[in-house]
Structure 1
Amino acid sequence: MKVRYGLQAKFLTLMGLALLVVLALIALLWSRQERMQREVEFVSRDAMQSMAAETLRRRGEGMVAQLADSLANPLYYFDLDAIGVLGRSVLRQPGTRYVIVYDGEGDVVHDGSDEIPSYGKRMDDPMAFEVIAAKNTHAQWSDDVMDVSSPIMIGNERIGGVRVGFDLDAARTVQDAAVASLRHRLEELGDRHLVWVGVLGIGLLGLGAVMLWLLQRFLVRPISQLADAARQIEGGHYDTALPVARSQDEIGDLIHAFGRMGHSVARHDRDIRRMAYTDALTGLANRLAFRETLDERLLQLRGAGRQLALLFADIDDFKRVNDTLGHDAGDEVLLHFSNRIRDTVQRMGGDAAVLARFGGDEFVILVQAGVANDGDVRGIATKLAETMVTELGQPIRVQDRQVFLGTSIGITLFPEDASGATALMKNGDIAMYQAKVAGKNCYRFYSRAMDQAVERRVHLEHELRGAWDRGELSLVYQPVYRLSDGMMVGAEALLRWQHPQQGLVAPSVFIDVAEQSGLIETLGPQVLRTACRDAVGWQGARASGEPMFVSVNVSPRQLRTGDLPKVVSESLADTGLPARHLHIELTETAVIGDEVHASALLSQLRTAGVKVWLDDFGTGFSGLSHLRRVPVDGVKIDRSFIADVLRDPDDLALTTAIIAMAHSLGITVVAEGVEREGQYSILRERGCDLAQGYWLGHPVSNEEFMTLLH
């Protein structure tokens, strides 16, 4: 009997074949899923390892670099308490195994503990050699620790270093847990998909291809995209676009978690860079950020025929604000200045301009020539400097007081002055210093001659330090006459320097050197005491007439120290000169800079009987209105007015007005620089009280002045 192979058998055969195909497909999918899970696990583990290692290294290097900066002063002064505080603060952070601060020879200075058992011992662990030899921040790895070290520098001198050990076991534990969690989720997800494919595959042979497509789209592709994003982040591209989570399953959770992790890493990177490259007070770029920007610009411009300029701006007499008003007021002044500079640079410097604060009261601006400004970088720098001098010279109100400060600006050009960043910054400093030498509140372009001028000035300062003890410095006295009867009533003490090689050094040169270097604080009391001692001898040498006074110039720096009344009192007590025979001369601008502080000191002097004169009156920015607020006994009309009083009606009118208004306030008027008889006559006609100048008498030594008295 022949068995009929009918439709049912064929159906069953087809179903069996379909089932075999589905089973084969399921087996194939199962195999593929296994491989895919292993690939995902491998890629994820590799990405996590790389990212975790890089993140830990960056965090460690940033932390250790900051710690090294913080330890510079404590290590320099060997302040173990301060070093211990900083070390323990780092040691307490999670994942930190040890902190070691060492000196320049590699000997342990502090290990963060209270007892410091390893103090003075040389580091001899396997990583110590590279730590001691490293010139920059350096990271090393062992099986269970990452060692990050950084040298501690004072300027260009390495005084030691610090190393911090970060525990790798904790990072590996977190990483293994994350991989295990990922593996578990992938297995659960794979099982659900395979069951669904198996159930539907019995009835629909084509569902396998659909499931394969779904797996490819919703599993492999997102994981592959995450892996690509992980590699981008590993390379430092933290703003890499991440895949969009289109599902709410584990893959979606993974994408969301990966996205949050990427944003967190990017945020931490921005925070670290902001801390490393931003000035904390003003929010401007700091020295490190500016130097990197300058290096990049020079690399771009080198050989391109384009120019840039650096402007070094330093606030004049800023220390006076901190000394008189406190550091909080100083910070407020710095904020005002930085805002004014920022507004000026944005308005006039162009889009490529860069502004940075180098610390203290020093700001640096980079401006670049371009097509829009015809490549005239010198013109841009000139206009910007002129505007900054004007804008920053405006008064600033701090703590209900007006503070007047100027700005000295040094300008250097690339490639005209130098082709390297270090040389440019050195030239800018030199030019700024020359601006201060020129009188402050101005700007100067760098020139080759400035290097020689700086060397001469440094040499002159060195020579000046011992000039008084060597007998090279001496006092001369210029007579002061009363115009009403022509009687000599006193003399102004003037300092002279007879250098053994250079001869007579101009007072305008060495007095400025003494002022800038601080030597004036030593020379001033010596000059005052000598002048008082000589004036005591005048009283007995004069045959008849009223007692003679001596006037002594006091620098603004002596006034700012606050101990001028004490110095004057000690000089009078040591020499025996009556206080009424001593006149103290101060420049108008020195008094106006801080009227409240100056008024308090001058009131003490006047209470003691000493008279106070304002020298070079009329050349400052104040006017006579300030005489009502500052206690003075006399004003000396500046010689620039007296020189043209015979031929310039304006100078004559100003001189007459000064005399009349000063007399209305009960203030004595002294004219300096009288070199002609006509000047003397017209000053006497206008009611001027006292006069001095070459027509009346040249400055002479004390012995010659004693002869004049006889």
Structure 2
Amino acid sequence: MKNKLNLVLVVDDEVEIQRLMQQRFRKRIQAGELNFQFAQNGVEALQILQNSAIDMVLTDIRMPEMDGLTLLSKLAEIDRPLKAVVVSAYGDMKNIRTAMNLGAFDFLTKPINFEDMEVTINKTLTFVHHLQQQQQNLQEAQERLHNLSFYDQLTGIPNRNGLIKQVTQGLDFQKSHQKDFALLIIDIERYAIIKSGFGHAVSDRLLVEVARRLEQWNAPSKILARLENNEFAIFFQPLESLEVVEIYIKELHQLFEYPIELEEISISSLIHIGVALSDIVYEKAEDLLQAADTANNYARYGSGTRTVFFHPSMQQTAIQRLNLEVNLQEAIKSEQLQVHYQPIFALNSVKIVGFEALVRWQHPTQGWISPLKFIPLAEETGLIVLLGNWVLLEACQQMGRWQKEFADICPDYISVNLSGLQLVSPTLLQNIDKNLMDAGLSGENLVLEITETVLMENIRDAIDILRNLRERKIGLSIDDFGTGYSSLSYLQSLPLTALKIDRSFIQNIETNQTNLEITATIIGLAKRLGLKVIAEGLETALHIEILSSLDCDYGQGFIFSRPMSANAATELIAAQSIDN
């Protein structure tokens, strides 16, 4: 407290209190350690709170216009660390109890004992400082995570996640304003040779120089990003016309006709460009990136030219997706779908603590169809609600069977993914209650995984639903954490129990410093929020060692087990009981 001016707001309609306070704390006021502002009622206090960085409020209860109890109820709406101490007549326990229930930190009685008041002020300010420091730490961790997740740490420009965020906004803008756009994906032709011949340090400096050259290129309305290795992307919006893209392409090729000068070597490297334009409709940012990347592959490997424009004939996806939708509807009706289970292990004991339920589709003629194909389709068509409800039913029933068969060694919970449409479905709570009751489960036996993106897109509707779920003791985990962008204030306010680190950050964590830093930041953030951490995508013993050293709680991945049938999962539980 000595190095910070602590500002206390005194709310009391007795004029004499101002003189007494200033006299009692004169030395600390003169030392710049403590200062006071004064208000005669709650209305004046709220006006001061809006314009001043008040640390604590010392308020009387009985005042004109707005009393202290009403003021306390309003303080909860102020979004910063702030605590209040109430002053009441001796023996007025009813109002004191009400004040404490409204969030008062402490209370004093009249007549005021100023020694007791100073102790109470010091104690309250100490607690407020602790809250302020905690908020600052969380904010810094969130900002660090945002930077690691959305910006390339080598070049400082947006990465793939950052580009997807910008392109998503661009697609929405195009729909509402009918403004053309273009996405160009560029790769540096001789990067692999430079990397193998001169090493990582030189190849990294090459990428930095490429990024600087692209940044300095004078093209309007461009968003630059580095995707991976030697791939860069440029998103243009709005464009005067699509014809201007030809001019930009010519300028880009000219830009790289000049060698890049590094200390060790002068590098001449041409580029390949894949182009996707707004003359084709794209529903999602990933579709646009895929189109530009496909065109880039044609430019690199199959076209004989250094620039290729995407054409739908390169990917006959529309007809395939329509057929897939029809087949998926039939699959739900005809029981072609199965639920497989991937175990989740405690990293400190390698004990199974739960299973994640994952839907699988075995088509009668096409064989196993990847969830990466049919899950996004189910979400787009609305079939995900029917599909998700079926998975939830199957998973709960299977968990109930395991509890009956393995009473003492049954895993703690079954984890089920929840889509955005399910999250806002009016029958969600009713369906969950019925499934738990029919399977003989309690809420503690179920964890619902919600992706960061789905949660933030539905945040207003989701908050009450999540609180209702937590009242049932159902676990709530953010899936694929770090790939979206969560507001820190929302993360702190949501009743979450766990964060699940996306597998993209675990891949190559042993060699990729950025992935290591992102993972460490996520774990640190989760610990500050009191959440458990699950890492997915563990494939090697080194992954387990690294995650354990970072204090990660749980893991799942191929090193433990691939997703398996219910029978295989049952055998795995039984085998664990034998081992123990």
TM-score w.r.t. the length of structure 2 is 0.49
Compare the two structures and name the one with the higher helix fraction.
Answer: 1
- TM-score, length of structure 1 as denominator length: 0.41
